[in-house]
């Protein structure tokens, strides 16, 4: 009974914090939108609209009401799951997001695969060869990539791999005439559904560079976390005891040290999955891919306030919910964190 109360109290606190975070995010974005220069009604009515037409649009969108009324109206729509209607596409923002989300998800999925495929093996080898040449090169590279602006890395790779060596395309999602009929909105998945091998390879060709840039932003965090965790486990008493029993270095590393080092990496990876969707905004813009990033960029450029608010709230909600799921999963699988968060009531 005490354990149930402890779990319930933990979930209530985390849900309350999530709601508070989303409310703060919504308020901050709303204020920033209102402070941006330009007239929303003018943008919605068009450059050639008359004064009467602009005022009619202003009244139809509720922009003639006091800002505080607009703010509470915005919060009320959010509570009903309504992200508003884009003043540019004239479609519900949620419908627009459903169309561009698959493209962003396939980018994030491939980036996460590359992230783990690069960071975990290098983290293991670097920890096993601490202080060696490989470890030093990896740590220096991680520091350099970690401090490198994403757009600069993207532009450099575009120039070298796309323009100079012509290995990969530098923009777009498919070559002219190669895209399979749209079913899901994700070019690679649509090619698989159409059983079109050339279209699938073409989609991967366009996807690999932006996914590599996105992966590089997060792989350094996974590398450093795994290396530090693995070094801590390798110095622990139970590893010393296993080593004294004559276990081989590979068995000690892979069979005993690695499983006990992965918990922080799994937690970090779960958090990164949500953060990658937010970071995809910049990568999609640089590589001219049609996803949430491009949608949000165009919305900001056109002062489409409902689209900007809806996009930010959607991405913020995904990040908050992923973080909440990671916290709950971590609580369930790690007794040390369970004891720290819930105390003796859960024991």
Q: What is the DSSP string of 5-51?
A: HHHHHHHHHHHHHHHHHHHHHHHHHHHHHHHSSS-HHHHHH-TT--H
DSSP of 64-121: TS-HHHHHHHHHHHHHTT---B-TTT-SBHHHHHHHHHHHHHHHHHHHHHHHHHHHHH
Residue 343 pLDDT class (50, 70, 90 cuts): low
Q: Give the pLDDT confidence of 255-283 residue by residue, as tens digits.
A: 888 888 887 887 788 778 777 877 787 88
Residue 223 pLDDT class (50, 70, 90 cuts): very high
Residue 137 is predicted with a pLDDT of 92
pTM for the predicted model, two decimal places = 0.78
Better-predicted residue by pLDDT, 91 or 45 = 91
Task: In whole angstroms, give the CA distance from residue 114 to residue 269.
Answer: 12
Q: Give the pLDDT confidence of 137-195 residue by residue, as tens digits.
A: 999 988 888 777 777 888 888 888 888 888 888 888 888 878 888 888 888 888 888 88
User: Could you say which DSSP state residue 295 is in?
Assistant: H
DSSP reduced 3-state for 204: helix
Residue 185 is predicted with a pLDDT of 81
Q: What are 92's strand-pairing partners?
A: 85
1 pLDDT more than 80:
no
Which residue's entry shows tokens 């096993």? 128
- What does the block give as tokens for 248? 């081989």
Q: Mean pLDDT score of the chain, rounded to an integer?
A: 83
End-to-end CA distance of the chain: 11
Which residue's entry shows tokens 């980018």? 107
Residue 3 pLDDT class (50, 70, 90 cuts): low
22 pLDDT more than 80:
yes
100 pLDDT more than 90:
no
Residue 187 is predicted with a pLDDT of 87
Q: Give the pLDDT confidence of 108-129 residue by residue, as tens digits.
A: 899 999 999 999 999 999 988 8
- What does the block give as tokens for 322? 């992923």
Task: In whole angstroms, give the CA distance from residue 2 to residue 11.
Answer: 14
Which residue's entry shows tokens 């989609």? 203
- Helix 197-234 × helix 262-286 angle, to 10°: 140
Percentage, residues of the chain above pLDDT 90: 10
Residue 110 is predicted with a pLDDT of 92
């Amino acid at each position: 009974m005490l354990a149930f109360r402890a779990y319930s109290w933990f979930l209530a606190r985390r849900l309350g914090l999530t709601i508070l975070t989303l409310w703060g995010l919504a308020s901050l974005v709303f204020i920033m939108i209102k402070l941006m220069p330009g007239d929303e009604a003018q943008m919605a009515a068009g450059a050639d609209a008359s004064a009467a037409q602009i005022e009619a649009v202003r009244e139809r969108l509720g922009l003639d009401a006091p800002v505080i009324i607009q703010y509470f109206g915005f919060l009320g729509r959010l509570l009903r799951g309504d992200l508003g209607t884009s003043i540019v596409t004239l479609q519900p923002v949620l419908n627009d997001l459903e169309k561009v989300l698959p493209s962003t998800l396939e980018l994030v999925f491939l980036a996460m695969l590359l992230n783990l495929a690069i960071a975990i093996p290098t983290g293991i080898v670097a920890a096993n060869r601490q202080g060696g040449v490989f470890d030093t090169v990896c740590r220096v590279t991680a520091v350099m990539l970690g401090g490198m602006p994403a757009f600069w890395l993207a532009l450099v790779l575009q120039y070298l791999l796309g323009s100079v060596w012509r290995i990969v395309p530098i923009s777009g999602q498919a070559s002219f005439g190669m895209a399979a009929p749209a079913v899901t909105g994700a070019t690679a998945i649509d090619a698989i559904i159409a059983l079109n091998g050339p279209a699938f390879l073409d989609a991967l060709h366009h996807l690999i560079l932006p996914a590599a840039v996105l992966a590089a932003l997060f792989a350094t965090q996974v590398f450093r976390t795994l290396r530090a965790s693995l070094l801590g486990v390798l110095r622990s008493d139970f590893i010393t005891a296993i080593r004294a029993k004559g276990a081989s270095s590979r068995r000690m590393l892979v069979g005993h040290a690695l499983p006990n080092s992965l918990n922080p990496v799994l937690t970090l990876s779960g958090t990164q999955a949500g953060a990658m969707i937010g970071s995809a905004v910049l990568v999609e813009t640089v590589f001219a891919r049609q996803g949430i990033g491009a949608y949000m960029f165009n919305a900001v450029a056109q002062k489409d306030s409902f689209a900007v608010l809806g996009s930010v709230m959607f991405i913020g909600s995904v990040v908050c919910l992923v973080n909440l799921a990671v916290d709950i999963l971590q609580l369930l699988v790690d007794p040390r964190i369970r004891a720290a968060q819930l105390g003796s009531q859960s024991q």
